[in-house]
Structure 1
Amino acid sequence: MTDAKQLYDYHSWANERIFHHIEKLPEETAYQEVKSVFSSVSDVLLHMCRADYFWLNILSGSAYQEIIDSAGKFESAKGNMAAIKQHAAELVPQYHDFFSRQTDLEQTFSMQHPKLGTLESTYTDTIQHVVNHGTYHRGNVTAMLRQLGHSGVPTDYVFYLYEKNESKG
């Protein structure tokens, strides 16, 4: 089984590819309204960033309401790709710091949700969720870009593995 740290590295690699690709497109592309799950590409990326922040804080043991209260800092990034990219970039070393403090990613921890109740999960399973969530929404971004007349960028896990393998050689 692939370890959680590598899956997270894939996730951050894929997000970087998306941001880099969008930077090469006409600037308005990120903000154009699209009839989709989100109204614009930038809205999807902001949602992904917020979710990554949320899950990092859950993994770190923060209380649900505390996380919700602190997530307001992302509101100023709405409609600002540079700010969204900056927030996303800031999360990467924070996740790496989380990993460096863990001795057992298979350890079970509890998370509390006001409506869903208590969930016992492992750190690894929660990281897998973060990665799956990102993969799903990167697919949304690709579909939206195609609706706007632009190509997407490959972010499949196998492309990450090929690139990682090439960098070793």
Structure 2
Amino acid sequence: MDKKYFTELAKFNRVGTGQVCSWLQQISDEQWLRPVVSSFNSIHDTVLHMINAEDAWLQRFRKENLVRFDQRFTGTRQELLELWQQTSQQLSDWVAAFDETKLRAPFTYRRFNGQEYTSLYYQVIAHVVNHATYHRGQLVTLLRQVGFTGVQSTDLIGFYRV
């Protein structure tokens, strides 16, 4: 486990975000907002959760005040998708600039409810990417449920094969 591995994971996350965003640009507003049975009530709500989580971790990594993205975003789908891609790029850049000697260092952070936790940096970076991977998989299923069939695998091995 070294910085190269986590840099690759962050790049995988960024590429996966771009892939999913390209699909989400092709669906109708009705498909985007259609109620679904999943962790969240629509594709829109799932994406909003994903960018909120990624943005929150980025804020925590940067030692910024934690502000909920989903409570301040009022833009269009296109603006949301662009912000999501920018956030994934910023996360990738942050990981690329991260001091490898701190991967096993403790990282203390607060959840939105104020509860404090301490984990190791490498654990949190892996979590952020894993969380996004989990929800990208949900989006593949949700897109199929609303009638969009132009999806492909978003698996890590596919990223490495390119």
- The residue aligned with 2:72 is 73
Deviation at 1:31, TM superposition (A): 1.8
The answer (yes or no) to whether the contact 1:32–1:40 under 8 Å persists in 2 is: yes
- Tell me which moved more, 26-35 or 13-22: 26-35
Q: 2:98 aligns with which of 82, 98, 102?
A: 102
Deviation at 1:158, TM superposition (A): 0.9
- The residue aligned with 2:120 is 122
% identity of equivalent residues: 24
Deviations along 1:44-88, one digit per CA (max 9) or x if unpaired, are 1111011100001111123xxx313676332x13xx320211211
The answer (yes or no) to whether the contact 2:48–2:70 under 8 Å persists in 1 is: no
Q: Secondary structure at the match of 2:66?
A: helix
Partners of 2:53 and 2:95 in 1: CA distance: 18
TM-score (normalised: structure 1): 0.79
Deviation at 1:98, TM superposition (A): 2.2
Partners of 1:69 and 1:88 in 2: CA distance: 14
Deviation at 1:19, TM superposition (A): 0.9
- The residue aligned with 1:36 is 38
- Tell me which moved more, 150-159 or 46-55: 150-159
> Structure 2 vs 1, CA of residues 150 and 101 (structure 1 numbering), >3 Å: closer, same or farther?
closer
- The residue aligned with 2:146 is 148
Question: What amino acid is the match of 1:38?
Answer: F
Question: What amino acid is the match of 1:112?
Answer: R
Q: Secondary structure at the match of 1:111?
A: strand
The answer (yes or no) to whether the contact 2:51–2:84 under 8 Å persists in 1 is: yes
> Structure 2 vs 1, CA of residues 47 and 54 (structure 1 numbering), >3 Å: closer, same or farther?
same
TM-score (normalised: structure 2): 0.82
Q: Secondary structure at the match of 2:116?
A: strand
- The residue aligned with 1:166 is none
Structure 1: gaps (5+ residues): 164-169
Deviation at 1:128, TM superposition (A): 0.8
Aligned length: 157
- The residue aligned with 1:83 is 79
> Structure 2 vs 1, CA of residues 129 and 86 (structure 1 numbering), >3 Å: closer, same or farther?
same
Partners of 2:37 and 2:13 in 1: CA distance: 26
